[in-house]
Amino acid sequence: MRIEVTELFTCTPETLWAHIEEPEKQKLWMKGLLSNEMTSPDPKGVGSTFRMVIKEGRKAAEYQGEMTAYDKPHRLEVVMFGGNFPKGMKMRVDYRLTAQGPQTRLDYVCKAEMEKAGLFMKLMFFAVGLFGKMQLRGFMKSLRKLVEAPTQAAA
């Protein structure tokens, strides 16, 4: 499963970065995110670890993660595992921010990684991918409202 989206936001890379990286701001646009806390000492960077709790349906699922790329405010890549993922599955999420005049381009790639994926898992990835694309559209719409809000322009 692979989901790719490119969006343009009318804000600086720093404004968009803050909403992508900071847990309290993530909760404003990532529906279901209950918490995201670092499990390794500062400073943040490649190798830093975190724990996310996400409400999925009626239950909360706990995911572990590690930052695999960190170049503030241009790139953040994480790999996550645990929660409701099947054993051996990891999700890699890559955010790339590029200034383009008064806008910031966000290139987003999310892909599932699994050492051995049989036919059932491939079909499941396809279904999850469809749901993920719909959910991502909502996330991007909420993120746009936050970073392009009139109060952001004054900041």
The Cα 108–Cα 106 span in angstroms is: 6
Count CB neighbours of 149 within 10 A: 13
pLDDT digits (tens, 9 = 90+) for 48-102: 999 999 998 899 999 999 999 999 999 999 999 998 887 788 999 999 999 999 9
Share of the chain above pLDDT 90, in %: 66
Asked if residues 67 and 77 have their Cβ atoms less than 8 Å apart, the reply is: yes
> For the chain, what are the domain ranges?
2-150
Instruction: Please give the pLDDT value at position 25.
Output: 96
pLDDT digits (tens, 9 = 90+) for 76-85: 999 999 988 8
Asked if residues 21 and 43 have their Cβ atoms less than 8 Å apart, the reply is: no
pLDDT band with cut points at 50, 70 and 90 for residue 44: very high
- Give residue 146's region: left, alpha or beta (phi > 0; psi -120 to 50): alpha
CATH class of the 2-150 domain in this structure = alpha beta
E strand segments, the chain? 2-9, 33-38, 49-56, 59-71, 75-82, 89-100, 103-114
DSSP of 49-88: EEEEEEEETTEEEEEEEEEEEEETTTEEEEEEEETTSPTT
Fill in the DSSP letter of residue 127.
Answer: H
Count CB neighbours of 89 within 10 A: 20
Asked if residues 4 and 13 have their Cβ atoms less than 8 Å apart, the reply is: no
pLDDT band with cut points at 50, 70 and 90 for residue 7: very high
